[in-house]
A and B are shown apart, each in its own frame.
Chain A
């Protein structure tokens, strides 16, 4: 009986995985199509990939997207880490909870609201839309996730260590660089990583605050997809899939590193963090 059960459940899981991956594989499959449509495969070709690399506008957008993601996640990690340390030092429980709820507002808000309200904000203070407005928005919506990744690591830190360091005459800077930062490095790394993928993945917020001159990959794909099928996008998505694969493997190793560092208990917390994706 158990054996039969086992088979049915495997079949179901297999089906779910097929459904999850079918559209992605479909995109990749037709990226090699000679025919120019996404419906009939006429022959194998690398032309679509060549077209992607020859399209200087598209390549520029790819570079811009990565630049925004790298800068935004870096800034968000710095601000978020200091914010988390600040929240950690807040002693009053109510103040702390209020801060945390405010921190989480941008995480739970729908993208459209974030985009629309940032658009009003930038217009209100007379900021020109473009690279900087996109960068600032990405920093803004990535900060809360960094805080959420760093804060648990701070709470796991042994507070007597801080006391001991101070008693032994360490300056504030030394406490920070020798005790606090090493203890929370895994959290900071995970936060940076999440911020990076948030930024790369974002469409809706960018769409609102991008203005006319500047575009990221997601916005570009949207405007091209609205005009119909172009196999260049397919080739691009294959490349992005490979990149995501590398990122996931990277994340997996960060997770493993965290787990080996602090026994098994941490593993659960990490999977929890992954839920926030």
Chain B
């Protein structure tokens, strides 16, 4: 029996070593080499000393924060209302469906919608505001990124609300809380885990959406992802690209630490 057990593990372990551990090590290793292949700390020195990289990182984090905020503001009420509808499984499926359409096609649609003669500008000129440059601005990047991330925020919040024991609401009502107090003191705290996983699911990808900055942002917005793609595939400075990659990985772990800790405790309690 012992032998078969290890046998099961062979392909999986190879995968773990080759595609999980090795790539992480390699990206760290590569970050210590310059473009000529010499060992150096210069990449990190450049990153922390030149203002450009730090500003870029700060901007990227700020944009990701805004995207997360927008999606949260739209998604929370949506999830809240969805849980209370009839046929909620069907509605949920309709929320999921757009996530199965390739991200690039959705971005491509916005090239038409936001263009100078597109629908949004037709509407703006109709209302008398006049045509504006929308495509290739920071705003268009934020809007499209939020649009793409909305379902990923709705789903975890929906699940958290769905799992909530309805008798808590009854109890809160019986004890004299009005609906706002019930929401603030019962529903929202209990759905916080869903909000956290939603924030996690939106914030980290938002740092790396390089295709959107290229197609919609018109290269005005540079996120961490754009910088990595640029260094790897355009300027071929892999060392610097890996350095930014390491920074992105660290940012990711910090984010998970912030949003993950209480969730774990909660999960242990439930068990």
Chain A interfacial positions (CB closer than 8 Å to B):
9, 12-13, 16-17, 19-24, 26-27, 30, 37-40, 78-80, 82-83, 85-86, 89, 99, 102-103, 105-106, 108-114, 116-121, 124, 136, 139-140, 143, 166, 172, 176, 197, 200-201, 203-204, 207-208, 217-218, 221-222, 225-226, 229, 233, 237, 240-241, 244-245, 247-248, 252, 268, 271-272, 274-275, 277
* Nearest A-chain residue to B75, judged by Cβ: A16
Contact assessment for A203 and B211 in the assembled complex, using a CB-CB cutoff below 8 Å: yes
Contact assessment for B93 and A226 in the assembled complex, using a CB-CB cutoff below 8 Å: no
Q: Which A residues are in CB contact (< 8 Å) with B118? A: 38-39
Q: Which A residues are in CB contact (< 8 Å) with B229? A: 112, 207-208
What string of 1s and 0s marks CB contacts (under 8 Å) between B100-144 and chain A? Answer: 111111111111110101110000000000000000000000000
Contact assessment for A225 and B27 in the assembled complex, using a CB-CB cutoff below 8 Å: no
Q: How far is the CB of B178 from chain A (nearest CB, A)?
A: 13
Cα–Cα, bound, A196→B234 (Å)? 30
Contact assessment for A118 and B112 in the assembled complex, using a CB-CB cutoff below 8 Å: no
Q: Which A residues are in CB contact (< 8 Å) with B214? A: 226
Q: How far is the CB of A71 from chain B (nearest CB, A)?
A: 15
Q: Which of B1-55 contact A (CB under 8 A)?
A: 1, 4-5, 8-9, 11-12, 15-16, 18-24, 26-27, 30
For residue B57, CB closer than 8 A to chain A, the reply is no
Cα–Cα, bound, A85→B119 (Å)? 53
Contact assessment for A117 and B26 in the assembled complex, using a CB-CB cutoff below 8 Å: yes
For residue B254, CB closer than 8 A to chain A, the reply is no
Contact assessment for B100 and A244 in the assembled complex, using a CB-CB cutoff below 8 Å: yes
Q: Which B residues are in CB contact (< 8 Å) with A105? A: 20, 24
When the two chains form the complex, which single residue of B16, B81, B119 contacts A26, counting CB atoms closer than 8 Å? Answer: B119
- Tell me the count of chain B residues lying within 8 A, CB to CB, of chain A: 87
Contact assessment for B93 and A252 in the assembled complex, using a CB-CB cutoff below 8 Å: yes
Chain B interfacial positions (CB closer than 8 Å to A):
1, 4-5, 8-9, 11-12, 15-16, 18-24, 26-27, 30, 74, 77-78, 81-82, 84-85, 91-113, 115, 117-119, 147, 150-152, 155-156, 158-159, 162-163, 197, 200, 204-205, 207-208, 210-211, 214-215, 224-225, 228-229, 232-233, 238, 241-242, 245, 248-249, 252, 256
Contact assessment for B12 and A120 in the assembled complex, using a CB-CB cutoff below 8 Å: no
When the two chains form the complex, which single residue of A118, A226, A244 contacts B215, counting CB atoms closer than 8 Å? Answer: A226
Tell me whether A86 and B8 are in contact in the complex, defined as CB-CB below 8 angstroms, given that A20-B95, A108-B256, A112-B225 are known contacts. yes
Contact assessment for A116 and B232 in the assembled complex, using a CB-CB cutoff below 8 Å: yes
Cα–Cα, bound, A117→B11 (Å)? 20
* Nearest A-chain residue to B206, judged by Cβ: A110
Contact assessment for A38 and B5 in the assembled complex, using a CB-CB cutoff below 8 Å: no
Q: Which B residues are in CB contact (< 8 Å) with A221? A: 102, 104-105, 108
Contact assessment for B8 and A89 in the assembled complex, using a CB-CB cutoff below 8 Å: yes
Contact assessment for B117 and A117 in the assembled complex, using a CB-CB cutoff below 8 Å: no
Cα–Cα, bound, A257→B34 (Å)? 55
Q: How far is the CB of A249 from chain B (nearest CB, A)?
A: 9
Q: Which A residues are in CB contact (< 8 Å) with B204? A: 108, 110
When the two chains form the complex, which single residue of A13, A116, A166, A247 contacts B85, counting CB atoms closer than 8 Å? Answer: A13
